[in-house]
């Protein structure tokens, strides 16, 4: 869970433990050069903002630096991800107009959801761990704060999504009973939103990046081509873990 104190501690402890046990060849973080440089520029080590926006990526990288590990930026370039998200959004809008398009969207949903599962991987209940839940309020504050520093417009958007519900009238005053037609329109829009945003997330933000992350992990593990006992610690968001694990287990050549 990004920016969660428990995840930050886990990243640091894992690097330190593996360094003691086998040595750490590399620490790989879920970031690309553009995003990583923006993070370092906005909140360099030792700065006030670095403390306020503490995160598992920088914490893991700094722990790796202390033990002499190489830093690997394992994610797909944000520029490529942005282009793919835009293309998927437009493609989905067009494909919603044909039966064949709906079939392709359904296939993408099935493949994307499969990326979230792995029998020996992270269970769905993992994000309900007490230590993660205790740190959730910190995560909710740090996430938009960090985004806002690097991209003010994006930070405002995320903050609006996270906190907008707090300003709604909890009593429900002012809401009129919806007619069946209004309810139908609302459900139709919800379905449309789910299909478009869901596909963009599962394919553009999850599945395709999983392959990039897995390939980078394998490259870091092979290193100079010699198979040794030195470890690669990969620090990824929870949504990527099972998909990347499956790719590494089932695909030997990428």
> Which pLDDT score, from 0 to 100, does residue 183 have?
55
Give a yes or no: residue 205 inside a domain: yes
pLDDT of 68 reads 93
In a domain, 173, yes or no: no
Instruction: With respect to residue 228, please indicate whether it lies within any of the assigned structural domains.
Output: yes
Q: In what order do the strands lie in the sheet with 231-235?
A: 70-73, 24-29, 231-235
> Looking at the domain assignment, is residue 48 inside a domain?
yes
Q: Which residues of 35-50 are buried (b: 16+ CB within 10 A; e: fewer)?
A: bbebbeebbeeeeeeb
Residue 171 lies in a domain: no
29 within 8 A of 61, measured Cβ to Cβ: yes
Q: Which two tokens stand for residue 220?
A: 């870091």
Question: ∠ CA(20), CA(22), CA(25), 5° rounding?
Answer: 105
The parent domain of residue 144 ranges over 5-162+181-248
**Dihedral pair phi/psi, residue 43, rounded to 5°:** -140, 70
The pLDDT value given to residue 180: 59
What does pTM read for this prediction?
A: 0.78
In a domain, 170, yes or no: no
Residue 172 falls within a domain, yes or no?
no
pLDDT tens column, 191-243: 556 667 777 777 777 888 999 999 999 999 887 655 566 799 999 999 899 99
Asked if the structure places residue 254 within a domain, the reply is: no
Residue numbers in the chain where pLDDT is lower than 70:
151-178, 180-195, 224-229, 252-254
pLDDT in the model for residue 173? 47
Give the per-residue pLDDT at 118.
Answer: 80
Residue-level pLDDT at 195 = 65
Q: What's the structural domain count of the chain?
A: 1
């Amino acid at each position: 869970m990004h920016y969660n104190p428990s995840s930050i501690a886990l990243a640091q402890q894992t690097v330190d433990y593996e360094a003691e046990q086998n040595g750490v060849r590399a620490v790989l973080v879920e970031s690309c050069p553009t995003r990583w440089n923006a993070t370092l520029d906005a909140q360099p080590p030792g700065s006030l903002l670095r403390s306020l926006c503490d995160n598992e990526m920088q914490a893991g990288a700094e722990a790796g630096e202390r033990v002499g590990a190489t830093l690997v930026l394992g994610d797909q370039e944000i520029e490529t991800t942005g282009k793919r998200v835009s293309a998927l959004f437009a493609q989905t809008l067009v494909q919603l107009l044909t039966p064949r398009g709906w079939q392709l969207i359904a296939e993408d949903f099935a493949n994307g959801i499969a990326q979230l599962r792995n029998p020996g991987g992270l269970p769905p209940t993992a994000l309900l761990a007490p230590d993660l839940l205790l740190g959730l309020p910190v995560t909710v504050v740090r996430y938009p704060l960090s985004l806002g520093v690097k991209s003010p417009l994006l930070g405002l958007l995320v903050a609006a999504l996270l906190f907008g519900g707090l300003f709604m009238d909890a009593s429900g005053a002012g809401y009129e009973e919806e007619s069946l037609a209004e309810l139908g329109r609302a459900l139709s829009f919800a379905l449309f939103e789910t299909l478009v945003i869901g596909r963009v997330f599962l394919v553009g933000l999850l599945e395709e990046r999983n392959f990039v992350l897995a390939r980078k992990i394998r490259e870091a593990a092979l290193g100079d081509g010699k198979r040794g006992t030195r470890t690669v610690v990969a620090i990824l968001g929870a949504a990527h873990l099972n998909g990347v694990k499956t790719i590494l287990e089932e695909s030997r050549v990428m």
